[in-house]
Structure 1
Amino acid sequence: MPRGQTPTTTSYAMLGLLAVRPWSTYELTNQIRRSLARFWPRASSKLYEEPRKLVALGYATAESQNQGRRRRTVYTITEDGRRALAAWLTEPGSPPPALESEQLLRVFLADNGTKGDLLRTIEATRRWARETAAVDAAIARSYLEGDAPFPDRAGLNTLVGRYLSDMSAATERWADWAGEVVASWPDDLSDLPVETEALRDVVARDPRDR
């Protein structure tokens, strides 16, 4: 392995896309935004650096091609890259899923603002969930109607898509519930009632009691 070059999870994410077909950096970045960004978000600057790292590692090759008046570099996975990807997939993955939500952070700190601020944050979260559900439905519909790209990957994409769809549905249910709860609260958020029924629901989900 070249000195200073270490494959990251993003490296393997790109290798997985290259295992589907060759891509230019621009195409790779757009495909990640379209398919992986929901569960593996990364800054565009990092994504543009990654293909060159794969070439340095020997996991991909780079070929300059003409596209009209412009030239582009197309990356193709190597056999070493396929072996490295297969080896990486033998492990279950670490760390476990991580949630990043500015809306939840704003809810957590809401006692420093107003009730109206909190209700708007909850409504924005609900709106995001509904918009995301519509996107998920459009993707699922494209597979059912035979219009989706890479139909041979429908099985795996459905596994991931169902997980993401369940998350957006759960988020909308939470926003509906939270909106009703907060609407009944006083304007002063410094001394709020405890939602004991919600706490009991959480306790009831303890898998050790099943």
Structure 2
Amino acid sequence: MSRGQTPTTTSYATLGLLAVQPWSTYELTNQIRRSLARFWPRASSKLYEEPRKLVALGYASAETHYQGRRRRTVYSITPEGRHALGAWLGTTSAPPAMESEQLLRVFLADQGTRDDLLATIAATRAWAREQAVLDAAIAREHLAGGPFPERLAVNTLVGRYLSEVSEATERWADWASEVVGAWPEEMTELPVDADALQLIADRDPGGRG
């Protein structure tokens, strides 16, 4: 391992793409934005840094080609890289970390207005529908014999998860807009949906609800 270089989760995410096939920097950028960025957005900020880091670690190699005067660098995984990726896949993963500015605004909504809260919920619903359209387009592409058919089984696992997240989000937005729509304009002494609270309590897998 190169001195001073430590592989991160984003390093392994990029290495995983190189395990599929060699990529130029441009191709790798597009593929990360198409796939990894949806559930590992930190990869997007490391688009140009990570491939060079993998080369420094000995996990990838880089070849420079020229098309006229245009320079094109193609990265490929090395045997050391495949070994490192396999070892990382055998370790325990960190739990999910959720980040949502929309949910943060909902959490703080009693400090604002009901209309602002309804607008936030509407924006959340719109995001969910946009994701559903994207999920459907990707699924249709795969059904039509799209890229990497040999990876379709694992891609379907991820695609189903992302699709259900957007579906659940839209379902929540429909419920939340109905609840908040019945609230008074003055955001004080708001009524509690006891049935919704009980539903959350009942989902305790340990049966302690």
TM over 0.5: yes
Task: Give the AA of the match of 1:161.
Answer: G
When normalised by structure 2's length, the TM-score is 0.96
What does residue range 108-127 of structure 1 map to in structure 2 within 5 Å? Answer: 108-127=107-126
| 1:106-160 deviation digits (Å, cap 9, x = unpaired) | 11111221111100100010011011011101111112221x1111110000000
- Alpha-carbon offset, residue 43 of structure 1: 6.1
Q: Match for residue 177 of structure 2?
A: 179
Identity %: 73
What does residue range 134-153 of structure 1 map to in structure 2 within 5 Å? Answer: 134-146=133-145, 148-153=146-151
- Asked whether the equivalents of residues 59 and 78 of structure 2 are also in contact (C-alpha less than 8 Å), the reply is yes
SS at structure 1 position matched to 2:62? strand
Cα distance between partner residues in 1 of 2:74 and 2:124: 39
- Alpha-carbon offset, residue 68 of structure 1: 4.5
Cα distance between partner residues in 1 of 2:126 and 2:206: 35
Q: Match for residue 63 of structure 1?
A: 63
Change (3 A) 1:160 1:68: farther
Number of residues of Structure 1 aligned to a counterpart in Structure 2: 208
- Alpha-carbon offset, residue 45 of structure 1: 4.1
Q: Match for residue 73 of structure 1?
A: 73
What does residue range 80-91 of structure 1 map to in structure 2 within 5 Å? Answer: 80-91=80-91
SS at structure 2 position matched to 1:71? strand
Q: Match for residue 99 of structure 2?
A: 100
Cα distance between partner residues in 2 of 1:10 and 1:113: 37
What does residue range 151-166 of structure 1 map to in structure 2 within 5 Å? Answer: 151-166=149-164
Cα distance between partner residues in 1 of 2:45 and 2:155: 26
Task: Give the AA of the match of 2:8.
Answer: T
Give the superposed CA RMSD: 1.3
SS at structure 2 position matched to 1:76? strand
Task: Give the AA of the match of 1:52.
Answer: R
- Alpha-carbon offset, residue 190 of structure 1: 3.0
- Alpha-carbon offset, residue 195 of structure 1: 1.3
Q: Match for residue 22 of structure 1?
A: 22
Q: Match for residue 200 of structure 2?
A: 202
Change (3 A) 1:86 1:43: closer
Change (3 A) 1:128 1:11: same
Gaps of 5+ in 1: none
Cα distance between partner residues in 2 of 1:131 and 1:122: 14
Cα distance between partner residues in 1 of 2:68 and 2:176: 53
Cα distance between partner residues in 2 of 1:208 and 1:123: 34
- Alpha-carbon offset, residue 25 of structure 1: 1.9
- Alpha-carbon offset, residue 174 of structure 1: 0.3
Cα distance between partner residues in 2 of 1:114 and 1:184: 14
Mean Cα deviation higher: 115-124 or 25-34: 25-34
When normalised by structure 1's length, the TM-score is 0.95
Task: Give the AA of the match of 2:18.
Answer: L
Cα distance between partner residues in 2 of 1:89 and 1:42: 19
Q: Match for residue 167 of structure 1?
A: 165
Task: Give the AA of the match of 1:27.
Answer: E
- Alpha-carbon offset, residue 27 of structure 1: 1.7
SS at structure 1 position matched to 2:35? helix
SS at structure 1 position matched to 2:48? helix
Cα distance between partner residues in 2 of 1:68 and 1:41: 34
